[in-house]
Structure 1
């Protein structure tokens, strides 16, 4: 049912009400009576019980004596006019509400049509996969690949770290072994240095002894020469004395020669023994000095070799320390890079999960809104159907009872003889006549 039809019904009802009021306006208090009652296409007749009934056939106009009629005081029922006004206002408010509902229904129908179109488009796309999900999946797959690469790099770096730790441990053990060797060599060096010092002291003592023996030999040689000179001098004196004692008839020359030979033999033997002892001592000291010199040279060579080994080990230790520091720095940087990459991957994963959660929440919110709109549409459809039924019922009621005329008529009971009315009349109570016009323009009256 449209809004124009409702307005047409209300306007026709108002016109009929005004016509009914105009029809009854002739019975005001200023009139002395009435000459007749016109009921348009239907008339009244009085039955045996005194009630008037509407007939389909027209009746002749009723002649009434004006002198017998008393003035009537007819008024329209105020409750009826108030109910009519209330019905008009209610119909207006219903029309306004219905118009607003119509606009709202049109808007909701447009929204519903748009949502149905979107739903058809979404259903026509396949299994409901949007274009955003493949992008998210591709991005997440890329992030997973990056995470796998990072994990592989981390595994590789962990292996390299373990290898480096093994190398560091090996170098550490080597370093400790070299430190132990160095300590042992330093101990050996100290021992050898002590031996060298003792050998040097022995050499110095031997040199001092050689000097002392040389001085002693020289002193003994001088003493021997002096004794030899004294002996020669004494022999010479003895020979003089012997020459003086020729009276004894001794062979002094032979004796002197024997003594001289004996002393010379003793001196030669002493000289030989001294020279042999000195030579043996000198040879022994020379041998010992050469041995000590050889040992000193060997010790000096060993000390130089130990010093070179110590310097080489120190350089190797410094290189190992530098390599260890570099490996530790590389390991720390690799761990930082790995942790940073893992943190970035986790952050990206969290961002993607948050974005996916937000997308799911938006989708759920849109579905809820769509469900709310569908529920609202269903409620509005139900309300519209209810109002349609109410309006159709009201339209049927107004169609069956569109014009209502109420008349108050004073009736008199008359006695007729041979078709003439007598002059005697008795007043009767007032009668309310309600004339109703139906949809097919037929009228019926009730009282």
Structure 2
């Protein structure tokens, strides 16, 4: 009985002992024994040949391009494919060496003609088993070559995608350079408009101080409010073209204007309350008179 296994085992045969093979061929030991010259020769042989077939799942690998696909992962995949390809090449070399050893053993068996009448059937059976093993080795070798070709195709596809990624990365760098230049120009424009913004803020601060001091008469406060609103509108119209890229600052100015209006309304309410108190006091004084 001839067995091919994926792990190292032992090979035994009856009749007599003899060494066969080398460590690289997968054989550990081989022995022969015979009960009697006239007895039927029976033997068992177990050959260690690492012929387990690695099934490739390359076609199912996800090569989709996205923001998470980095150069390091591409290099790792290329390295992994190259390592697997090297394993396939080593396996082909191993199978070729094992094939040569099997052929040498078949040749040795053919050359041995000791006790042909007693060992003929045993040798024929062994030769058939060796031929079957040799055919299996040839089939596995062909499969390994096929897997190697597929692996080479996968490596080439990955290289093509790697080149596409490199071109895309180069285009991205150009776009980033353009945006950097654009940002620098916008920053320069913002620096140039800082004086205008400071002047506008100073004017708003002055208007706040004016509003805080306008607590004498209601009509005067209303007139001042209208004047300030017109002035603020004029300022906004005058700076709209220059502050197009500074909308956030304008938004802040609008918020400050709303705060000013709210504060002015508060002062108006306080003034109205004071006026009501004054009128009540005048009425009370008039009553005492």
- Between structure 1 and structure 2, the one with the greater Rg is 1
What is the TM-score normalised by the length of structure 2?
0.38
Going by fraction, where is helix more abundant, 1 or 2?
1
Q: Which has the higher contact order (CA 8 A, sep 6+)?
A: 1
| Higher share in strand | 1
TM-score, normalised to structure 1, is 0.26
